């Protein structure tokens, strides 16, 4: 069982939305310290929270965070972007940035913190995916989340030897600034954060954070044509 009590955690993208909810939930469950990152400087008055600037696209920024958080035992790869763009007609730079942040950003953080986690007995790495990892039609964002799912599954194998527990989190739309323009039912960030930590503490390899996600995962054995979604719906 992976315990949160008295542990040191890193939450990327922890300033707002789901990241902020994860910081709150970690502290509520007894975490000793939480490093919380954003792209720009900010402050948090809680003594257990250490804020830091992080751009997951920049290797030097990721390395600086790893130097700062050398006592980390739990890493939550939450930072991400949602830049809707059709693959054939959309702005290719948006597709490129989305993949750089949502896929390569996860990998940069994982590579930087893997040795640190090993030094502390293995710990845990938690990566945020999406229900759109499994649904076609969301352009570059869906491609990035499908790749993130594959990345996490491979990292689980590569990190097993150092006893790092790897968790992949899939969720539908969450009531955050990122999804504000999407007219779909949304879950509260605090509810999703609680389910993520429930899964982590139960040693789950994958967290399906809501009923919609569980339904889509169950449909993966069916016709691929039915696995579709559009931001325009």
Active-site residue numbers? 141
For the stretch 127-166, what's the b/e string if a residue is b when 16 or more beta carbons lie within 10 angstroms of its beta carbon? bbbbbbbbbbebbbbbbbbbbbbebbeebbeebeeeebbb
The CA distance from 43 to 118, in Å, is 30
Count CB neighbours of 53 within 10 A: 14
Which residues fall within 8 angstroms of residue 140, CB to CB, at 6 or more apart? 83, 84, 85, 87, 90, 94, 95, 96, 98, 99
The sign of the dihedral angle between the CA atoms of 28, 72, 109, 3 is: negative
Count the helix, strand and coil residues of the chain and give each as a percent rounded to the nearest 5: 45, 15, 40
Comparing CA positions, the residue from 32, 101, 41 lying closest to residue 71 is 32
């Amino acid at each position: 069982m992976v315990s949160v009590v008295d542990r040191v955690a890193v939450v990327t993208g922890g300033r707002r939305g789901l990241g902020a909810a994860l910081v709150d939930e970690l502290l509520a469950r007894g975490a000793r310290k939480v490093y919380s990152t954003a792209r720009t400087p900010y402050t948090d008055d809680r003594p257990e929270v250490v804020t830091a600037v992080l751009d997951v696209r920049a290797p030097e920024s990721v390395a600086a965070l790893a130097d700062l958080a050398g006592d980390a035992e739990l890493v939550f790869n939450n930072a991400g972007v949602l830049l809707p763009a059709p693959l054939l007609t959309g702005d290719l730079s948006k597709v490129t940035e989305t993949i750089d942040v949502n896929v390569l950003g996860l990998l940069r953080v994982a590579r930087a913190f893997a040795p640190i986690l090993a030094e502390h007995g293995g710990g845990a790495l938690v990566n945020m995916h999406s229900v759109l990892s499994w649904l076609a039609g969301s352009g570059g964002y869906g491609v990035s989340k499908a790749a993130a799912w594959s990345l996490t599954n491979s990292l689980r194998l590569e990190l097993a030897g150092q006893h790092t527990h790897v968790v992949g989190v899939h969720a539908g739309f969450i009531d955050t600034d990122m999804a504000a323009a999407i007219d779909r039912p949304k879950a509260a960030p605090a509810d999703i954060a609680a389910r993520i930590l429930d899964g982590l503490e139960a040693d789950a390899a994958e967290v399906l954070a809501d009923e919609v996600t569980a339904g889509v995962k169950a449909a993966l054995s069916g016709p691929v044509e039915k696995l579709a979604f559009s931001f325009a719906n």
